[in-house]
Structures are given as structure tokens and as C-alpha cells.
Structure 1
């Protein structure tokens, strides 16, 4: 497994999964995007190079969008009684 597999397959899937699960547990849409940004920044300067910095921002924005979508879905399900 090389760095590209981690950067473009494993890391995005992990961030998506953690964003959904973390938002369901914590009910805070900002916690998981901040955590994903921190993880991505650490990986940028340890495993990858500075060109990965743009992807770190993109992954954080995807995490933010998924967190809001998850929060909306959880609230809708709670309102409908399911």
C-alpha cells in the first residue's frame, strides 16, 4: 500500500465514516470536521508533503457537509418518531 492509496481511498472513506458516526454520537456538527482537519494536517506534515494541504481542506469541507446532513437526518427521524 503506497501513499496514494492512503490519501485518495482510505483517508476519505475513514473521514466520511467518522463524520457520520461522530455526529450521531456527539450531536455537534463542528467537532468531526475539526478533528478531520487536525488528522489531515498531521498526515500532511508527517506522511505526505505540502501539496496534500489542499486535500486536507477539501476533506474537512466534505466532513462538514456530511456532519450537517447527518444532523438533519437524525433530527428528521427523531421528529417523525422512528
Structure 2
């Protein structure tokens, strides 16, 4: 899994390898937006559907966590986390 962060106003994403930190932080990935507000509930549902449709991603994390990958939203922090 890779950590995705937004580092500029054009919303271009930079990817950083996150595997070495798996199990250390409560979230396995975070996406932040600085330019436009988003509907956190609709975004959560959309990302959950994408995650559920990718068996390689979900299967890899199920083996490490013994549970399905879940998406959580924190509108106050302008981000989405994967747990």
C-alpha cells in the first residue's frame, strides 16, 4: 500500500512507499484536499467501493490484519483514512 498526499493546489498526488510503517500508525493511508471541500460520506462510500473491488489490495491487508480494509473519514482534518 502507498500513502497518497496532496502537496499543492493543483491536486497532483505524490506517492510514498508506506510498507515499512505498516502496523505503526492507526491509518494505512491518508488522502487530503486543500483546495475544495468534499462530502465526506459520499467520498467514503466511493473509496470503499473501489477498495472492495480490488482483490489484490484488500486481500493483502486482510492477511496482515485478519479483517477487511475499511475506509474512515475525518472532515475536520480534511482527510480519509484506511484501517
With the shorter chain as reference, the TM-score category is: 0.3 to 0.5
- Greater relative CO (CA pairs within 8 A, separation 6+): 1
More helix by share: 1
Which structure: larger Rg?
Answer: 1
User: TM-score, normalized by length of structure 2?
Assistant: 0.40
User: TM-score, normalized by length of structure 1?
Assistant: 0.41
